[in-house]
Structure 1
Amino acid sequence: MDKLKYIVTVFCTAILALNGLVAQDNGQSDQAKQAEEFSEEPLDSSQYLNRRGVVLDGDTLFYLYDRIDGYTPTVRARLASQKIDELIHLHDFESDSLRIEVNEPYYQIFYKGEFVMNISLTDARWFGKSQEQTAREYLNTLTNKCRVVVSGLDIKRLLIQIGLALVVILLSGFIIRYVNRLFKFLALRIQRLKGTYLKGLTFRNYEFITEERLTSIVLLANNILRVLFLIFLFYLTLPIIFSIFPWTEGIANTLFAYILDPLKHFVTAIIRYIPNLFTIAIIVFVVRYITRGIKFLAREVEEGKLTLNNFYPDWAIPTARVINFLLYIFMLVLIWPYIPGSDSEIFKGVSVFLGLLISLGSSSAISNIIAGLVITYMRPYKIGDRVKIGENSGDVVEKNLLVTRVRTIKNEMITVPNSTVLNNSSINYSLSGKMEGLIIHSTVTIGYDVPWRKVHEMLIEAASCTPFIEKNPKPFVLQTSLDDFYVSYQVNAYTKEPAKQAMIYSDLHALIQDIFARNDVEIMSPHYRAEREGPSTIPPKNGE
């Protein structure tokens, strides 16, 4: 029994050893078996006749025999040759980056992820080796040839690059030379235009810029343009030269980016802003024509062509200005979100700062504006009226939301803030003159020795003879006081020419003196200490 177990054990061990040898032999000859399996099919002699070589730099590297996916060997070889030629002309080409990848049923050659060519089993059979060995042979041949060709191309490419750089430098020098000549010609031309087209800038009788200064400014601008153009040309030449050589191409891209990136951002921002620009244009267009319509209606009301109930014509222009101002504020509110950068924190901060400055620094201005609006609708006076504001009398020559300007009879221009006008009393002489007339008055004191009826007659006669005094209503006299030694007589007369008060008063006083002198009446306020026994102070008649 023990012998039987021993025999079985030896037999099993021998079988396992034999199977191991067979498996090892099979692992070593997988490629041979693959070729033997396919070699059972006979090769087509037409494939040999239609073979085409992959060519690089005039040399045939290897042949392709098989048709793959409809591509004939001719097309396959041509495409592979073109791709290889394209790759080796890259300035950063590295032959060691060629790799083999297996994509059943083909072995494929790639360069940095770019497909170069396929190697089929038929190509390998005609080559006489396995598909993997054939792919490696093709790759080695291609890599070695690329090294040789690229080494020659590097020298040739460098010479061409140096030549191109010299051409760029020569061309830049040529441009600089003729640009300098052009600007020199322009400078001479500017000198010749002195006294003809360059005559200086004058406004009325004031000369802003003399002829010599204007010529100097134009010449300076000519030189600045020349320098800027040369700087731009130099800056443009450098990246062009750097872009010729592969190892400085990054510097060229950086220099170009310094110019092109801001320009690209600027153009992109403009293009993106065009819809907002159209929106702003439409808003401005609508508001502009609305304000024009309001101004037209205001002029019609002011001229009396259009009447509105309980609306005075002199309210028209101020009301139109207020409405237009509110419309412009409303327009600004509408277009604010469409202004570039309006939503940025800096823009908001500046807006808040400006608003704070205006609110703190314009309290007086705002009070004057509000007072101006109140005065406008109170209508205490209008331009051309003779008024008295506080202690100042004169004609109103200007009235706006901030101030009122008055010209006195001495031709003095007084500016009165509207808040002052509103807080003080004002007299409108012209308004009184448009009704029954403005009453002008003057007071004389006469002693009790002169009958009051005679004094009344003389004063009324003087007032009636005064120019610009109305005959109807008639002048009248008031006795304003009875003092210890004299009586105060006030003569009153109507006039519709309040702007001529100074001349009217002067003429009235002159006539009072003449008429009283003619009637031997002294204009005086006697104070008695003793009876006077000399001649009176009445002036002699007719200047005697």
Structure 2
Amino acid sequence: MIQSIQTLGTFVRVILAAVWLCALALPVAGQNTPDDAPIVDETESETFKAPVIVDGDTLFHLRGSSALPAPERAENVLVKIVEVAEASDAAEVSITFEDSEFGIRIYADGVQVSIVTDADAELEQMDLNVISVLHGDAIKKSIEGYRANRTEQARVSGAIEALGWTLGFALFVVVILWLHRRIRRRTLVFVQRYLKDVETATAKSVQAEAIAALIRYGLNFVLLAVFFLGFYYFLSFVLLAFAETRYFAQLLLTYLTQPVLQIAKGVISYIPNLIMLGLIAWITLYVIKGMRVFFDAVEAGTFDLGDFEKHWVNPTFNIARVVVVLIALVFAVPYIPGSDSAAFQGLTILVGAMLSLGANSVVSNMLAGLFVIYRRSTSIGDRIQIGDHIGDVVRIKLMETHLKSIKNELISIPNAQLMNSDVVNFSKKTDGSGLLLHTTVGIGYEEPSEKVEAMLIEAAHRTKGIKAKPEPFVLWTALADYAINYQINGYTTRGSSIPKIRSDLHRNIVDVFNENNVQIMTPSYMADPPEPKIPAEAWDGHLAHEIHEDADKS
């Protein structure tokens, strides 16, 4: 049994040692030299001072010289300590001292391990005899610890400890995966419950799904960082369980723990600023909620602001909210970490330059959007004409206005163009009569004008959508070469149905004139044909023939 455990421990040590010897370049690469430290100082430090490290524990530092650099001297002492430790399994180590012309020699179990010189005493600023005793005690403890850490009991204990860390890491991975799945399910529910007003406040420019996706991304990034941090510490603790890899484990722990501690200290030092930022955010939210209550009261009619129209409530609230948030940002910037750094100031200047150089059209459209909202020349549902585009207003946004054309096309018009163009609104009522719809027909000079006018008015009366009061009327618009141009005018309040009303009016005009055997001579006329173009008898016979055929088929 003991032999099997020993074999397992040896196999684990070999695997872990191979892996972490490959990863050794990471901590070595992390030992960067400060920019302001001269290269000469670093070389002198490595040459004249080096630590003696056994199983990750630093015993003491040795002074070197140009002939025998400190790293080489420390390596020789380490080799001697390992030789003495592996030469015997005894629990006790005999340490003796011997004076020499170079210093005090230290022997362990009769083998010279080190020599303490006056330079070493000067390095530690202690008496030579005292520093020799301290070095001897450190050597004794390191040899005894080296032997104890390589016993069968120590290897079994290390294997059990590594297995415990592995099980703990497996449980950690299960928790991370559970949190990942829970985040995917719960984020959208949370956003829809607590941030449902965001879509309304931004006119659905910001969707709840987009907010949920951003929150999921941030939380998953935090989970990923926690996972890698846990994996790093897991490997470090596994290596720490075995004496052969303990040195690498301590290096890994040192190089990760120091940055983490620095970050933690930075966060702790910024707690007063974080409290101030939280206070500013709380006051801002409180002010915004107060404004919401006030504007709701204005919209309900509790407060009378004179000529302030109700449809101005929501845009005015949004503008006021943006102003309050900007003021809060001005107060919060000094408390943001790194706000006084040159990088933050340079970024601020860059953002300002980008906005000033590239946002002229954006700003003009935003200002035009505000004018459109407050001028209220158009409203949602109005049928308007802008240039060649005719359609119903379906949405008025800060940057653009959306029209749905009469052909069911969605037209997006920048608000700056809306401000700089002539807008014809077919839905707004300038008085109680409504819009004046008109069309022109040309009738020959031989037809009595009273008859023609009566037929046109009759066609207008037959048309749904044209008002009976005020009465339709006829104007003579031109005395052309072959005909008189009569213009029939009728009032309507259905501005959104003008194409359909005009089509019905044209149909009724043709029907009335055909009933009275009057030829419409527009758009052009050369001469009367000898026979009517479509005799009434032929048309009636053709229609009756088709009706009989349909009856026979049925």
| TM-score normalised according to structure 1 size | 0.60
Deviation per CA, 1:352-407: give whole Å up to 9, x if none: 22222222222111111111122222221111111111111111001012101111
Aligned pairs for 1:105-254 within 5 A: 156-162=144-150, 166=155, 169-175=158-164, 178=167, 229=230, 231-238=232-239
Q: CA deviation at 1:457?
A: 1.0
Q: Do structure 1's residue 404 and structure 2's residue 401 form an aligned pair?
A: yes
Q: Do structure 1's residue 502 and structure 2's residue 506 form an aligned pair?
A: no
8 Å contact kept, 1:389–1:421: yes
Residues 428, 95 of structure 1: alpha-carbon distance in 2 compared, 3 angstrom cutoff: farther
CA distance in 1 between partners of 2:493 and 2:288 (Å):
39
Alignment equivalent of 2:454, drawn from 447, 453, 457: 457
Partner of 2:487: 490
Aligned letter for 1:320?
A: F
Q: CA deviation at 1:260?
A: 2.5
**Structure with greater Cα Rg:** 1
Partner of 2:521: 524
SS at match of 2:441: strand
Q: CA deviation at 1:314?
A: 1.9
8 Å contact kept, 1:168–1:237: no
SS at match of 1:431: coil
8 Å contact kept, 1:446–1:523: yes
8 Å contact kept, 1:239–1:255: no
Q: Do structure 1's residue 394 and structure 2's residue 391 form an aligned pair?
A: yes
Partner of 2:530: 534
SS at match of 1:504: helix
Aligned letter for 2:163?
A: F
Greater shift in the superposed pair: 396-405 or 291-300: 291-300
Partner of 1:107: none
Aligned letter for 1:347?
A: F
Q: Share of identical aligned residues, percent?
A: 32
Q: Do structure 1's residue 344 and structure 2's residue 341 form an aligned pair?
A: yes
Partner of 2:478: 481
CA distance in 1 between partners of 2:511 and 2:131 (Å):
135
Deviation per CA, 1:96-150: give whole Å up to 9, x if none: 999xxxxxxxxxxxxx9999xxxxxxxxxxxxxxxxxxxxxxxx9x999999999
Partner of 1:330: 327
Aligned pairs for 1:33-112 within 5 A: none
SS at match of 1:398: strand
Q: CA deviation at 1:414?
A: 0.5
SS at match of 2:277: helix
8 Å contact kept, 1:176–1:230: no
Greater shift in the superposed pair: 142-151 or 487-496: 142-151
Partner of 1:472: 469
Residues 243, 363 of structure 1: alpha-carbon distance in 2 compared, 3 angstrom cutoff: farther
Alignment equivalent of 1:382, drawn from 379, 383, 395: 379
Aligned-pair RMSD on alpha carbons?
4.7
Alignment equivalent of 1:271, drawn from 268, 271, 278: 268
Q: CA deviation at 1:487?
A: 1.0
Aligned pairs for 1:406-445 within 5 A: 406-432=403-429, 435-445=432-442
SS at match of 1:430: coil
List alignment gaps of at least 5 residues for structure 2: 1-91, 105-123, 190-208, 210-221, 541-554
Q: CA deviation at 1:429?
A: 1.0
Q: CA deviation at 1:160?
A: 3.5
Residues 95, 428 of structure 1: alpha-carbon distance in 2 compared, 3 angstrom cutoff: farther
SS at match of 2:428: helix
Partner of 1:17: none
Aligned letter for 1:235?
A: S
8 Å contact kept, 2:236–2:249: no
List alignment gaps of at least 5 residues for structure 1: 1-88, 99-111, 116-139, 209-220
Partner of 1:362: 359
8 Å contact kept, 2:402–2:411: yes
Partner of 2:39: none
CA distance in 1 between partners of 2:273 and 2:223 (Å):
38
Residues 322, 518 of structure 1: alpha-carbon distance in 2 compared, 3 angstrom cutoff: same
Partner of 2:370: 373
8 Å contact kept, 2:159–2:241: no
Q: CA deviation at 1:341?
A: 1.1
Residues 302, 521 of structure 1: alpha-carbon distance in 2 compared, 3 angstrom cutoff: farther
Q: CA deviation at 1:233?
A: 2.4
SS at match of 2:487: strand
Aligned pairs for 1:1-40 within 5 A: none
CA distance in 2 between partners of 1:501 and 1:495 (Å):
8
Q: CA deviation at 1:237?
A: 4.5
Deviation per CA, 1:304-336: give whole Å up to 9, x if none: 554321212222222222111111111111111
8 Å contact kept, 1:516–1:522: yes
Q: CA deviation at 1:185?
A: 9.3
Aligned letter for 1:535?
A: E
Aligned pairs for 1:265-344 within 5 A: 265-302=262-299, 304=301, 306-344=303-341
8 Å contact kept, 1:301–1:313: yes
Residues 456, 528 of structure 1: alpha-carbon distance in 2 compared, 3 angstrom cutoff: closer
8 Å contact kept, 2:233–2:253: no
Q: Do structure 1's residue 260 and structure 2's residue 257 form an aligned pair?
A: yes
SS at match of 1:330: helix
8 Å contact kept, 2:383–2:495: yes
Aligned letter for 1:159?
A: R
Q: CA deviation at 1:419?
A: 0.8
Partner of 2:545: none
8 Å contact kept, 1:387–1:430: yes
CA distance in 2 between partners of 1:346 and 1:498 (Å):
58
CA distance in 2 between partners of 1:395 and 1:146 (Å):
94
Q: CA deviation at 1:243?
A: 12
Alignment equivalent of 2:508, drawn from 487, 505, 511: 511
SS at match of 1:517: helix
Q: CA deviation at 1:337?
A: 1.1
8 Å contact kept, 2:439–2:487: yes
Q: CA deviation at 1:490?
A: 0.9
Residues 291, 366 of structure 1: alpha-carbon distance in 2 compared, 3 angstrom cutoff: same
CA distance in 2 between partners of 1:473 and 1:355 (Å):
60
Greater shift in the superposed pair: 310-319 or 331-340: 310-319
CA distance in 2 between partners of 1:241 and 1:459 (Å):
107
Deviation per CA, 1:227-265: give whole Å up to 9, x if none: 8755422323546767999xx7xx876544323222222
CA distance in 1 between partners of 2:138 and 2:534 (Å):
135
Q: CA deviation at 1:266?
A: 1.6
Q: Which has the higher contact order (CA 8 A, sep 6+)?
A: 2
SS at match of 2:338: coil
Residues 332, 470 of structure 1: alpha-carbon distance in 2 compared, 3 angstrom cutoff: same
SS at match of 2:429: helix
Aligned length: 389
Residues 257, 238 of structure 1: alpha-carbon distance in 2 compared, 3 angstrom cutoff: same
8 Å contact kept, 2:478–2:484: yes
8 Å contact kept, 2:277–2:335: yes
8 Å contact kept, 1:433–1:497: no
